[in-house]
Structure 1
Amino acid sequence: MNKFLTPAFALLATPALAAEGPFFDLKNTDFIVLCGFLVFMGILFYFNVPSMLMGMLDKRAADIKSELDEAKALREEAQTLLATYERKQKEVQAQADRIVEKAKADAEAAAEQAKVDLKDSIARRLVAAEDQIASANAAAVKDVRDSAIEVAIGAARDVVAKQSTAASLNKSIDDGIDEVAAKLH
């Protein structure tokens, strides 16, 4: 009922009622405009234009509602994907932290092993150096001994040469030959 009262009150409050002279006269433009408006409204109602407009508006509202529902579903899907990616990101971060910790532990173990290897290398080099020193010492002692022997032999030869005569030399040679012959037979 409210649908019918609103247009009726709108028609009653028109400036046409405030005009002078007879209202229902064809020379009164307000009356002609009112008639034209009523004919126009009648044509609209005859061709059921208000229900078509309402149907179009309802269809548009249904389209908007379906778009909103689709947007809501997409939003929920996006939130699910975001949660999934955040969880995966946390897992990847945890894995990266584990890798970093393992790398640190491996680096510390490698450093400790390098220290042990360095100590072993230094010990081997010390032993090799001590061996070289001992070898050099033995070679020096041998050289000194050989030199001392050569000097002693030279001195003995000089002493023997001065003290010995030809007869004593021949007797020494004969004694050496006899001794060698006794040892060989």
Structure 2
Amino acid sequence: MRFAVFTAALVAASPAAAASGPFFSLRNTDFIVLLAFLVFLAVLIYFKVPSILAGLLDKRAEQITSELNEAKSLREEAQALLASYERKQKDVQAQADRIVEAAKKEASDAAAQAKLDLEASIKRRLAAAEEQIASAEASAVKEVKDRAVTVAVAAAREVIASQIKAADANKMIDDAIATVEQKLH
């Protein structure tokens, strides 16, 4: 039956059948074109082409809606991730600032401690130098005194030797021996 309707529509729509004359005549081309168009629409409806097309369009619309929803969720996720990274970046920047401040404070503390250590070292070296100077001075004074005593003893010996006679010298030696004996006993 379908084939017969299709064939009749095909024969009716042929250009040989179209001719001029009254409008509702198979010889009028406008009427033939109208009939062919109506038959074409009937065939499309009979084979449910509009519902198939509507189904395909609905399926495509659902797919597009799904993709839009997925894109929206991806955008929201990306915005949340961006906000998270911005917070982390601010936290890292704050931590870096704290580390820099701590390093500056440690450096200034170390510089102050180094200055104090240097001052203490300078004081120790000055004290050691003053002690060496005092020791050298004391040694020089002792040497000068020893030399003066040696010179004075030598000079006294010469003076005494020239002024004292042998008898007086013997008496002095005896007196010195007696003094030593008294002190030892």
| SS of match in other structure, 1:72 | helix
Q: Specify the alignment match of 1:114 in structure 2.
A: 114
Q: Let me know the Cα RMSD of the aligned residues.
A: 3.5
Q: How many pairs are equivalent?
A: 170
For 1:114-153, what aligned pairs fall within 5 Å after superposition?
114-153=114-153
Q: Specify the alignment match of 1:101 in structure 2.
A: 101
Q: What is the CA distance between 1:141 and its match in structure 2? A: 0.7
CA–CA separation in structure 2 for the residues paired with 1:97 and 1:125: 42
CA–CA separation in structure 2 for the residues paired with 1:130 and 1:184: 44
Q: Specify the alignment match of 1:181 in structure 2.
A: 181
Q: What is the CA distance between 1:173 and its match in structure 2? A: 2.3
Q: What is the CA distance between 1:139 and its match in structure 2? A: 1.1
CA–CA separation in structure 1 for the residues paired with 2:121 and 2:104: 25
Structure 2: 5+ residue runs without aligned partners? 1-14
CA–CA separation in structure 2 for the residues paired with 1:122 and 1:68: 79
Q: Specify the alignment match of 1:69 in structure 2.
A: 69
Q: What is the CA distance between 1:76 and its match in structure 2? A: 0.7
8 Å CA contact 2:20, 2:29 repeated in 1: no
Post-superposition Cα deviations, 1:117-167, rounded to whole Å, max 9, x if no partner, equal: 322332232222222221111111111111111112222223333334443
Aligned CA distance change for structure 1 residues 167 and 23 (closer, same or farther; 3 Å): farther
CA–CA separation in structure 2 for the residues paired with 1:37 and 1:84: 63
| SS of match in other structure, 1:111 | helix
CA–CA separation in structure 2 for the residues paired with 1:34 and 1:86: 68
CA–CA separation in structure 2 for the residues paired with 1:145 and 1:79: 97
Q: Specify the alignment match of 1:7 in structure 2.
A: none
Structure 1: 5+ residue runs without aligned partners? 1-14
User: Greater relative contact order: 1 or 2 (C-alpha under 8 angstroms, separation 6 or more)?
Assistant: 2
* Aligned partner letter, 1:72: K
Q: What is the CA distance between 1:73 and its match in structure 2? A: 0.8
Aligned CA distance change for structure 1 residues 46 and 160 (closer, same or farther; 3 Å): same
Q: Specify the alignment match of 1:52 in structure 2.
A: 52
Percent identity for Structure 1 against Structure 2 = 68
CA–CA separation in structure 2 for the residues paired with 1:143 and 1:33: 149
CA–CA separation in structure 1 for the residues paired with 2:171 and 2:72: 134
